[in-house]
Amino acid sequence: MNFVPRYLGRGSWLARRDPRLLVVGLVCFVFAAIQVWDIRLMLVLVAIAFAWYRSARIPFGEVRRLWVFAIAFVSLLVVMNGVIASGRVQQVPGDLVHLYGYLPVVGTPVSAESIVFAATQFLRFIAMIAMGFPLAFAIDPGAFGVTFARLGVPYRFAFAVDLTWRFIPSFAADFRTTIDAQRVRGLDLSPTGRNPIANLARQVPVVVPTVVNAITGAEDTIDAMDLRAFGTGKRTWLHELRFDRTDRIVLVAFAALLIGATIAAWTTSSALLWVPPFMIPG
d(CA 9, CA 14): 8
Residue 135: the pLDDT is 87
DSSP one-letter code for 208: H
- Amino acid code (one letter) for 219: E
Residue 89: the pLDDT is 65
- With a threshold of 0.85, does the pTM exceed it? no
Q: Which backbone phi and psi does 11 adopt, to 5 degrees?
A: 85, -5
d(CA 265, CA 282): 30
State pLDDT tens for residues 255-273: 999 999 999 999 998 888 8
- Residue 189 pLDDT > 70, yes or no? no
Cβ–Cβ under 8 Å, residues 87 and 111: yes
Query: Which residues share a beta bridge with 102?
Result: 109
State pLDDT tens for residues 2-29: 444 577 888 899 999 999 999 999 999 9
State pLDDT tens for residues 229-256: 776 777 777 777 889 999 999 999 999 9
How confident is residue 143, by pLDDT bands cut at 50, 70 and 90?
Answer: confident
d(CA 267, CA 270): 8
Nearest to 137 by CA among 74, 57, 72, 67: 57
Range scoring the smallest mean pLDDT among 16-25, 108-117, 183-192, 207-216:
183-192
Average pLDDT over residues 126-147: 87
Considering the chain, what is the average pLDDT of its residues?
A: 82
Average pLDDT over residues 154-171: 73
How confident is residue 191, by pLDDT bands cut at 50, 70 and 90?
Answer: low
Contacts of 101 (CB under 8 A, 6+ apart): 109, 110
- Residue 1 pLDDT > 50, yes or no? no
Residue 90: the pLDDT is 60
Q: List, in sequence order, every beta strand (DSSP E) within the chain.
A: 99-102, 109-111
What are the residue boundaries of the structural domains of the chain, listed by start? Answer: 19-279
Instruction: Indicate the burial class of 169 (C-beta count within 10 angstroms; 0-12, 13-18, 19 or more).
Output: middle
Average pLDDT over residues 26-33: 96
